[in-house]
Amino acid sequence: MMFGRWKRNGLVACGVVLSGAFTPPTLAHQPVMDMAPRWKGGYGFQVRQEHYGSDLRLSGGSKADNPFGLEKSVSTTWLEGIYTFRREVRLTVKIPYLNQKRTTLSAGQIVTEKGSGLGDIIIGMPLKRYKNKASATSNIAVTPSIRLPTGSTKDGFPTGNGSTDIGVSFSASFEKANIYHYQVL
């Protein structure tokens, strides 16, 4: 019985992978809280802050001058949640709030564009296969995801891109009392 379920889930995962092969390339987000919660009906939430910015300009592989002070800065606050139907099947949601600004050169003029608000929401379905031993646990996972066009496309620097995108990621992790390794493909 257990093998039949994994065989069916494997066929579903292959279908998701193949359907992804015929869509525009996208980057799939990995879900939150990789190893926990592991129990049926388990859930969790977390808030994660991400910030990046740069005034670096490149020309080929070399650094280029930036006499106009062109730059880009993006701060994203993620509200991330997970619900575990069974230890092997989970639903994740990632809700971003963006606050961003960029300075560009348009028709010879320096232009500052801003955008803030809700970004594109990402929903994922991690499908995991566990292997547990007395002193270690490991898992492999296939995670189909969909990004929904919930962000605004109207600001000078939009918080969304207006398209629905699907993606898939593959991951593996290994955990012992003194080591944890997580790899995403």
Number of domains in the chain: 1
Count the alpha carbons within 13 Å of 109 in the hemisphere toward its beta carbon.
4
pLDDT value of residue 8: 54
* pTM for this prediction: 0.72
DSSP string, 74-136: EEEEEEEEEEEEETTEEEEEEEEEEEEEEEEEETTEEEEEEEEEE--EEEE--EEEEEE-SSE
Residue with tokens 């300009």: 57
- What are the pLDDT tens digits along the chain (185 aa)? 444 555 555 555 555 444 444 444 444 455 455 555 667 888 888 888 999 998 888 778 888 888 888 899 999 999 999 898 988 899 999 999 999 999 988 888 999 999 999 999 999 999 989 888 888 888 899 999 999 999 999 888 999 999 999 999 998 888 888 887 777 77
Domain of residue 52, residue span: 2-184
Residue with tokens 């993006």: 74
pLDDT value of residue 5: 55
Q: Are 90 and 123 in contact (CB under 8 A)?
A: no
Q: What is the distance of C-alpha 131 from the center of its chain?
A: 25
Closest CA to 48 of 61, 65, 33: 33
Determine the residue type at 177.
A
